[in-house]
Amino acid sequence: MSREIPSSIGDCSSLEYLYMSGNLFEGAIPQSFTLLKGFQDLNLPHNNLSGQIPKDLQNLLALESLDLSFNNLDGEVPTEGIFANASAILVNGNDKFCGGIAELQSTCTNHNYTKRGKSNALKIVLAIIGVVLGFLLISSFFTLYWLRRSKSKPPSTPSIGDQLLKLSYKELFQATRGFFSTNIIGSDSFGSLYKGIIGHDETIVAIKVLNLQNPRVYKSFMVECKALRNIRHQNLVKILTSCSSLDPKGKDFKALVYEFMPNESLDDWLHLPMELQNYSRNLSLLQRLNITIDMASTLDYLHYYCCGAIVHCDLKPSNILLDNDMIAHVSNFGLARLLLEPENNSSQAQTSTIEIKGTIGYATPSNR
């Protein structure tokens, strides 16, 4: 799976703000970014980007803020345009940089000195922590966590890739063996979730068929599609496509197709059904901590780093799904609130939502 930033972003001629912090992107900054004349804020810190800064970024007159810190970039830092304003750019954490304006060069030198000092202090601290069992446990946990994150994982749906998948009612019907009851893996008032097999390589997916007899489902369908359209995070369940069509009887049919999570939901692990009470299955302390961190990372992204803050509104164990590696993924955005940027300097942010409240016991006070 490619971890490079797609060069096709340069085709988005009206793009003004781009926040892609902490997504483990590799490779060079696409040269196509220099074509986005309306760019105002480019935020790419805490990735693994390499190569040189595209020099023509200094020609983007609308660019007001640029954050390239903590990557593996090298070469000379341009000195014109936004690069002439040390307060508008962040490039620290790239040890191979050289050149740039005097203020910026001084900052980089101080950073390297501070980094070396912290490295020496860390060695002393780690030596002390080694004799304390509690600190050793925490240190071991974080080491295992970051090692797991650094491993390259194959995509859950290798035949689909990054292409827009188009599926008809007939194909979904065949994938679920006629929406047969034995293929149901979950259900609620909004519809039923089926396990399906699509494609020549028999890729397993989860197909959410909406119950259109519930009048709230139409709004839920639109909210979920809007919420998942532009967000990308490793701990969000990936939506592969949607289907809006007619069934053989001429009735409306709507479905959402997601990547399949083989280890079911967190709720299934915390509360085993009566028929599985004697089945040995439990979560270790490390797995519980990993799931907690996965959820915190997801909420941090939804609230602060995606294009317009998103509030899930119904984050409960049954909406937290687990993949093959027991990594948690947030699902079911049918109740999400989309907080839009305020216009005309208004002090109130606009809210796009529906009149549905979350599950009792899990909805935030502002949702009840």
Q: Output the domain CATH number for residue 54.
A: 3.80.10.10
- Say if residue 242 is in the same domain as residue 270: no
Any idea which residue has 């070396």 for tokens? 116
pLDDT (tens digit, 9 = 90+) per residue, 82-108?
998 888 998 888 888 888 888 876 444
Average pLDDT of the segment spanning 309-330: 85
Provide the pLDDT for residue 277: 56
DSSP 147-177: HHHHS----SSTTTTTS-----HHHHHHHTT
Residue pair 328/291 in contact by the 8 Å Cβ criterion: yes
- Say if residue 249 is in the same domain as residue 296: no
β-strand partners of 97:
75
Residue type, 355: E
- Say if residue 284 is in the same domain as residue 222: no
What 3-state class would DSSP assign to 54?
coil
- Say if residue 220 is in the same domain as residue 309: no
196 in any annotated domain: yes
Work out the angle at residue 91's Cα, subtended by the Cα atoms of residues 86 and 93, and round it to the nearest 5 degrees.
140
107 in any annotated domain: yes
User: Which among 112, 134, 153 is the end of a domain?
Assistant: 112
Q: Is 49 exposed, middle or buried (0-12, 13-18, 19+ CB in 10 A)?
A: buried
132 in any annotated domain: no
Looking at per-residue pLDDT, the higher value among 82 and 110 belongs to 82
- Say if residue 20 is in the same domain as residue 97: yes
Average pLDDT of the segment spanning 196-225: 82
Average pLDDT of the segment spanning 219-224: 72
Residue pair 258/236 in contact by the 8 Å Cβ criterion: no
Task: Please tell me what DSSP assigns to residue 21.
Answer: T
Provide the pLDDT for residue 313: 76
- Sorting pLDDT into bands at 50, 70 and 90, what band is 293? very high
- Say if residue 247 is in the same domain as residue 307: no
Provide the pLDDT for residue 213: 82
Read off the CATH number of the domain in which 306 is found: 1.10.510.10
- Say if residue 226 is in the same domain as residue 274: no
Ranges 17-21, 263-267, 307-311: which has the least confidence: 307-311
Q: Which of 239-243, 286-290, 310-314 has the highest mean pLDDT?
A: 286-290
Q: Which domain holds residue 175?
A: 169-230+237-255
Distance, CA of 354 to chain centre = 23
Provide the pLDDT for residue 112: 47
β-strand partners of 155:
none
Ranges 26-40, 61-75, 282-296, 332-346: which has the least confidence: 332-346
- Sorting pLDDT into bands at 50, 70 and 90, what band is 41? very high
Beta carbons within 8 Å of 110's beta carbon, 6+ residues apart: none
Ranges 66-80, 194-208, 256-270, 341-355: which has the least confidence: 341-355
Looking at per-residue pLDDT, the higher value among 176 and 188 belongs to 176
2 in any annotated domain: no
Ranges 83-97, 266-280, 323-337: which has the least confidence: 266-280
pLDDT (tens digit, 9 = 90+) per residue, 274-291?
555 556 678 889 999 999
79 in any annotated domain: yes
Whether 268 is catalytic is no
Looking at per-residue pLDDT, the higher value among 338 and 249 belongs to 249
What 3-state class would DSSP assign to 84?
helix
- Say if residue 100 is in the same domain as residue 173: no
Looking at per-residue pLDDT, the higher value among 345 and 56 belongs to 56
User: Which among 67, 91, 112 is the end of a domain?
Assistant: 112
Q: Which of 116-125, 289-298, 347-356 has the highest mean pLDDT?
A: 289-298
Provide the pLDDT for residue 110: 43
Read off the CATH number of the domain in which 186 is found: 3.30.200.20
Average pLDDT of the segment spanning 326-348: 62
- Sorting pLDDT into bands at 50, 70 and 90, what band is 53? very high
**CB atoms closer than 10 angstroms to residue 8:** 10
- Sorting pLDDT into bands at 50, 70 and 90, what band is 162? very low
- Say if residue 241 is in the same domain as residue 288: no
Ranges 55-69, 240-254, 347-361: which has the least confidence: 347-361
Looking at per-residue pLDDT, the higher value among 256 and 119 belongs to 256
Looking at per-residue pLDDT, the higher value among 266 and 114 belongs to 266
Please tell me the total count of domains within the chain.
3
Return the beta strands (E) in the chain as ranges: 17-19, 26-27, 41-43, 48-51, 65-67, 72-77, 89-90, 96-99, 184-188, 191-198, 203-210, 239-246, 252-259, 309-311, 320-322, 328-330, 337-340, 350-352
- Say if residue 312 is in the same domain as residue 337: yes
Provide the pLDDT for residue 2: 59
141 in any annotated domain: no
129 in any annotated domain: no
Averaged confidence pLDDT in the chain: 78
Catalytic residue among 67, 268, 294, 314: 314
- Say if residue 284 is in the same domain as residue 241: no
- Say if residue 186 is in the same domain as residue 206: yes
119 in any annotated domain: no
